[in-house]
Amino acid sequence: MRHLIGYARVSTTDQDLSLQLEALRHAGCRDAWICRDTTSGTRTARPGLEACLRTLVAGDTIVVWRLDRLGRLMTHLVTVIEELLGRQVGFRALCDGAIDTTTASGELIFHSRPQRHSTCPMCPAALVDAADFVIDTAASLLLQRSDRVARVLHTEIE
């Protein structure tokens, strides 16, 4: 592994990045390697994310606090993560424990797809199914663990 590159995002200027930044630092991201945005996750054009994606090289890992920080549109999430994997860049969501493509189990979770469209694995419907599966899995984990993980990380940092 080369570098851990963090990405933090809030939707409005009224929101605070500090919890995300603390978690990213605790995970090993240096301040100089954390890209930030203040914009909606539904926007695909985000200067901080674009800078982050340009910075990443093979062997790096992009780290986000939660999967929804990278984006809220399923097709965008799948596209970005697939592009990262194609570039041999890992992806890790801190509060979504199973989403860590640098581990065998995390890669399995990301690449597991429903077989409804098995005759055309790369057709748009299959990609949406895959995105639904990833989002459902992450959302389930997030609902079960995010508050507990956030409290633990916040307590450990203090």
pLDDT tens sequence across 145-156: 555 655 665 566
Q: Quickly state the pLDDT bin for 119 (edges 50, 70, 90).
A: very low
Kindly name the residue from 11, 40, 118, 146 that is annotated as catalytic: 11
User: Which of 26, 7, 2 has the alpha carbon at shortest distance from 150?
Assistant: 26
Q: Mind giving me the DSSP string for 130-146?
A: HHHHHHHHHHHHHHHHH
Whether pLDDT at 27 is above 90: yes
Distance CA 124, CA 90 (A): 23
Q: Where are the domains of the chain?
A: 4-157
Give dist(CA 70, CA 62) in Å, integer: 10
pTM (predicted TM-score):
0.68
What φ, ψ does residue 118 adopt, rounded to 5°? -65, -20
11 part of the active site? yes
Q: Give the chain's mean pLDDT.
A: 78
Distance CA 101, CA 87 (A): 13
Give the CATH architecture of domain 4-157: 3-Layer(aba) Sandwich (3.40)
